[in-house]
Homo-oligomer: A and B are copies of this chain.
């Protein structure tokens, strides 16, 4: 079933059919109605390949995810991302290719292939950044792209980006801890992790200073996994139990810390408070329920997609491209592992 078939059924030329189905103003009103009806009855579908060839519009975008995305435990994040992306995509009748990258900081292979083969109209890049030459490549191909999730690595703002202000996230944790009277706090470094993790610790410090309290921060090397948290918490040498409060790298790692401490008889939050990051669905389910910082993943997904589709539309219409940064605020979710007031004595 092609427009040629429709054309012969309706006794008009293919050009006319094409114009009718594309809602062109160059056809008579009655003709358009007639053709549209015939096409609907015949269950007509445009051939995306043919369209992609003649226009430069295939009705597909790609999202490029970090290769090690299970390592960073963003299962939940990406599920949310998918689910919410979908809403926008369905409305605009756009399909989604999911790509991965060997290297979290490059994504290069996949991008060049997808873009070079003209399979997509635009890209969502879940990465802090891409190499210069890849960026040049995308510009030369005139390919729209939006960075998502990761904050900008520097002050550059000549690309579109939707992200969470992790400074703010860390700050709210800092304020909570400070107001609870905690002073000796443990935070973590993950060498392999993206820069946002550092920003959270920066925020933590600022939160303390804003609350006008002294912070005695100890920084420990770890990774973003449950096991890492569990091991550190059970290791007597690391002395995690000697802190007032612990700021985990993410929810899963924080859960590891909680269970690790409990297995040594340390009470949470009575002896040590613990705060996670992400607010994965599990955070509210485990016992004790985890205090954490909610990443607005639905909004990120939604806004990233909306922005990309907007950039694509603008490009088609010849509207000059003005990059935008859209920063979202994370939200402190206070539960049991670090309560609102003076939980230290509980």
From 45 to 98 in chain A, residues with beta carbon under 8 angstroms from any chain B beta carbon are: 45-53, 58-60, 69-70, 75-76, 78-79, 82-83, 86, 93, 95-98
Among residues of B, the one whose C-beta sits closest to the C-beta of A46 is B117
**Which residues of the other chain, B, contact A60 by a CB distance below 8 angstroms?**
97, 119
Within the complex, the shortest CB–CB distance from A78 to chain B, in Å, comes to 7
Indicate whether A285 reaches chain B with its CB closer than 8 angstroms. Answer: yes
Name the segment of A167-175, A240-248, A254-262 touching the other chain: A254-262
**Which residues of the other chain, B, contact A112 by a CB distance below 8 angstroms?**
43, 45
Interface of A (DSSP majority class): helix
**Which residues of the other chain, B, contact A262 by a CB distance below 8 angstroms?**
287
Among residues of B, the one whose C-beta sits closest to the C-beta of A227 is B285
Among residues of B, the one whose C-beta sits closest to the C-beta of A50 is B53
From 228 to 242 in chain A, residues with beta carbon under 8 angstroms from any chain B beta carbon are: 230
Indicate whether A327 reaches chain B with its CB closer than 8 angstroms. Answer: no
**Which residues of the other chain, B, contact A213 by a CB distance below 8 angstroms?**
none
**Which residues of the other chain, B, contact A118 by a CB distance below 8 angstroms?**
47-49
Q: Measuring CB to CB, which residues of chain A are less than 8 angstroms from any residue of chain B?
A: 1, 43, 45-53, 58-60, 69-70, 75-76, 78-79, 82-83, 86, 93, 95-100, 112-114, 116-119, 226, 230, 252, 255-256, 259, 262-263, 281-282, 285-287
- Asked if A79 and B86 make an inter-chain contact with CB atoms under 8 angstroms apart, the answer reads no
- Asked if A100 and B79 make an inter-chain contact with CB atoms under 8 angstroms apart, the answer reads no
* In the bound complex, CA of A281 to CA of B74 (Å): 13
- Asked if B116 and A43 make an inter-chain contact with CB atoms under 8 angstroms apart, the answer reads yes
Partner of A70, one of B45, B53, B83, B282: B83
- Known interface pairs A46-B117, A49-B53, A117-B46. Does A285 touch B95 (Cβ–Cβ under 8 Å)? no
Partner of A119, one of B79, B95, B113, B286: B95
Among residues of B, the one whose C-beta sits closest to the C-beta of A83 is B70
- Asked if B86 and A75 make an inter-chain contact with CB atoms under 8 angstroms apart, the answer reads no
Within the complex, the shortest CB–CB distance from A29 to chain B, in Å, comes to 27
**Which residues of the other chain, B, contact A83 by a CB distance below 8 angstroms?**
70
**Which residues of the other chain, B, contact A98 by a CB distance below 8 angstroms?**
82, 96-98
Among residues of B, the one whose C-beta sits closest to the C-beta of A45 is B116
**Which residues of the other chain, B, contact A263 by a CB distance below 8 angstroms?**
287
Among residues of B, the one whose C-beta sits closest to the C-beta of A96 is B98
